[in-house]
Structure 1
């Protein structure tokens, strides 16, 4: 039994370390990688749990990648899993930044490094578009008119009308609370 836990802990560390070391572009890029390992390959958490964790990770202070890794680690292996995934996620950037800061002048002036970083920008953009499509498909599958309309309306509200994102988040949260309250009153959602 103890060996099984140690294998799980090592697996959590290895996965979060490799995700953190080889993904660039922020927390949203980490989500598809976590889906691949934790949902598809190991079946340790469900797709819906991962999306819920992503929503929580976005709304809590700190880096999204670290927040979602900690939530996944906690869900899979409790507080020890949360600590292990946190260390596994934070360690690669610390190592990389330490090396870069030591050789900063060489990295800053190197054309090859600059070209590699420009290429990574395109990969990050493609990964973010992929996760947006996956999340949109999940919203459409729910067949919830409010949620289906909320995404394009909030995009236009911010992009075209330049409404502050905080105002949009608060307004959407209030709408979702009202919708949930109405469903509870109608008996559509059962309390636990």
Structure 2
């Protein structure tokens, strides 16, 4: 029981820390979750983390909360979900509450304005890092099916402005078809 409490405490503090010091949205927190839970704690392996991220991105809602849900569930079941979601929600709730009280002062402050503009560049770099790390993981697998899906998805969303929702739905369908074909061939 002591190990369970320790793990839950560490999960709470980790997700609280990640949520408190992550600016730029869910894609930034995803790479930090991967570093924390895969590279630092070794609680989740790389492939499983990619699967959890895919689930978090596909579900409706904020990706940071969805990521906390899937990681919390993987690590400690429903109690892990509760702990990680509460820890993920606390910092934005407190920060947004404080900002809303002082909104007029922040809106006209030149220093705050410049700081937020600078943070946008940093956020862009972190998102690019996430894309590179996830894409390189797919390339390292050398799975032609995954490489084709990744390439075609990029092309149709970037060059042809196809809505990402349609791309996700098609990828889900392709993944289901591939799984059913593989399961069918294993049964034969």
> Above 0.5 in TM-score?
yes
**Bigger shift: 129-138 or 159-168?**
159-168
Map of 2:138 onto structure 1: 139
Q: How does 1:2-81 map to 2 (within 5 A)?
A: 2=2, 4-81=3-80
Deviation of 1:176 after TM superposition, in Å, equals 2.6
Whether 1:161 and 2:160 are equivalent positions in the alignment is yes
Deviation of 1:72 after TM superposition, in Å, equals 1.0
**Counterparts in 2 of 1:78 and 1:178: CA distance versus 1, 3 Å:** closer
CA distance in 1, matches of 2:151, 2:90: 37
**Bigger shift: 35-44 or 150-159?**
150-159
Deviation of 1:69 after TM superposition, in Å, equals 0.9
* Unmatched runs of 5 consecutive residues or more in structure 1: none
**Bigger shift: 59-68 or 6-15?**
6-15
Query: TM-score, normalized by length of structure 2?
Result: 0.91
* Unmatched runs of 5 consecutive residues or more in structure 2: none
Residues 59-110 of structure 1: per-residue CA shift (max 9 Å, x gap): 1121110111121112112211111110000000000001000100111111
Whether 1:121 and 2:141 are equivalent positions in the alignment is no
CA distance in 1, matches of 2:152, 2:78: 39
Map of 1:108 onto structure 2: 107
Map of 2:182 onto structure 1: 183
